[in-house]
Amino acid sequence: MPSTMSPALVSIVVSFRNEEKNIPLLVARVTKVFEPLPEDFEIIFVNDVSSDRSLAVLQELHARDSRVKVVNMSRRFGVSECALAGMEHARGAAVIYLDCDLQDPPELIPTLLAQWHAGSKVVHTVRERRLGESALKLFVTRMGYRAIQLGSNIKLPMDCGDYKLLDRVVVDRLLTLRENDPYLRGLVIWIGYQQTFVSYIRDARHEGKSHFPVFSRNPWQALLGGITSFSFTPIYLIGVLSVTVLGASLLLTVVAALGMMFTDTPSYTMALFIGLGLMLWATLLLAIGTVGIYVVRTYKDVRGRPRYIVDNTVGFD
């Protein structure tokens, strides 16, 4: 659905699932933030098939304020896909994407807008601290960012989440990228234009439990998506490892053959060859698995299926 830009409008896009307790407060805080600002706003909630009363709450809020709008997905598609669906329906000259759990404070929006008015096409937020999260999750998240950064062929910012402002030109460019399993944090950097960074302290979740615990599928899927979207380093490392293991195997084979000629320890030699065989077998499996990840990503793109399907909307003409 093509967007019709309104230069005095800012679109707030919120991808969510089962956030009935957080939605009213988020709307209230966003509304309060915009009261002294010259820009008007629309807040687009993209509903990833919630099973609680989230949709009913949003319908009530829309009845009181037409700036509250809803995009309902046909099934669960995921956070990034929902964010793109919201951007596709956004009409603003700038789009701000944030989470629904109130960990990303709406009160930072005036700062983002000030950077935008100063000429930035993308304004990122960088988390100085993350309140209310376990030490294990913080450690895994930090290591994940560093793993993605280490192998990336572009410079990806550290500790930079999805809370950001995008100028209309960046949104339009982003929507032309049709790859599946999009890693939005990397794609926004890849698009380019003038980009700035704003630091903030991320609050603890306001209500409910996190939808992305450290041992759930989503964080690890995001890690693999970030690595395979912007880096071929895993494939290169497998190649280096394979050559190294092959060289070591040839050397040990020669040593073992000489040992068999001058010593009487066949059992030791047999154990050595079994170990080498297992090592080569494990390396082969690791290489196949790594290549398989890239093949799956290619297959998804070649297949040509849409990244998401919208069931219906509330508040759009």
Following CA atoms 114, 120, 122, 125 in sequence, which dihedral angle do they give, to the nearest 10 degrees? -50
Exposure letters 144-166 (e unless 16+ CB within 10 A, then b): bbebbbebbeeebbebbbbbbbb
Terminal C-alpha separation, the chain: 11
pLDDT of residue 198: 86
Q: Do 97 and 89 touch, CB atoms closer than 8 A?
A: no
Rounded CA separation 153/142 (Å)? 19
Q: Do 22 and 204 touch, CB atoms closer than 8 A?
A: no
Q: Do 186 and 154 touch, CB atoms closer than 8 A?
A: yes
Q: Residue ranges per domain, the chain?
A: 9-217, 233-303
Q: Quick one: 9-217 is in which CATH superfamily?
A: Spore Coat Polysaccharide Biosynthesis Protein SpsA; Chain A (3.90.550.10)
Rounded CA separation 233/290 (Å)? 10
Rounded CA separation 19/54 (Å)? 6
pLDDT of residue 35: 92
pLDDT of residue 211: 47
Following CA atoms 185, 189, 191, 197 in sequence, which dihedral angle do they give, to the nearest 10 degrees? 110
pLDDT of residue 6: 56
| pTM, to two decimals | 0.66
- Residues in the chain with pLDDT values less than 70: 1-7, 129-159, 202-243, 245-276, 278-279, 282, 285-286, 289, 292-293, 296-297, 299-301, 303-304
- Return the sign of the alpha-carbon dihedral for residues 99, 155, 108, 141: positive
Q: At what angle do helices 266-303 and 233-262 cross, to 10 degrees?
A: 160
